[in-house]
Amino acid sequence: MEQPNLSYINSMSGGDKAFEQKLIDIIKTEFPEEKEVYFTNVKANNYKLTAENVHKLKHKISILGLEKSYETAVAFENNLLEGSTELQDEFESILTIMTNYLQQL
């Protein structure tokens, strides 16, 4: 499975370390909250709200350089909108990888 990285953030920053840190801090603050809301909506079987949560989370997936995972998130979001939870396990594995990575930063 692909691993998160800061390549995208580094390319956006133009070497501005303060900017990079600010982006990382925002992700570290928002990600756990968004993930918690996602799991709340999954447990409630509210597919529409869960799809909205996936939509928000997929941007962080992209920012952390997870290109294949982003594609999985897009497909999972579409599945949810069609009333299917197919790819849920794969998506939640991505969230776990991101959580572990962000805790190490």
CA dist., res. 5 & res. 52, Å (int): 24
pTM tops 0.75: yes
Stretch 31-52: mean pLDDT:
98
| pLDDT at position 61 | 98
| pLDDT at position 63 | 96
Q: What is the pLDDT of residues 47-104, one digit of tens each?
A: 999 999 999 999 999 999 999 999 999 999 999 999 999 999 999 999 999 999 999 9
Residue 73 token pair: 């998130």
Contact indicator for 95, 35 with CB cutoff of 8 Å = yes
A 10 A CB-CB count for 36 gives 11
Q: How far apart are the first and last CA of the chain?
A: 19
CA dist., res. 30 & res. 20, Å (int): 16
Residue 71 token pair: 């594609």
Nearest CA among 12, 47, 14, 39 for reference residue 26: 12
Residue 93 token pair: 């594995």
| pLDDT at position 41 | 98
| pLDDT at position 1 | 77
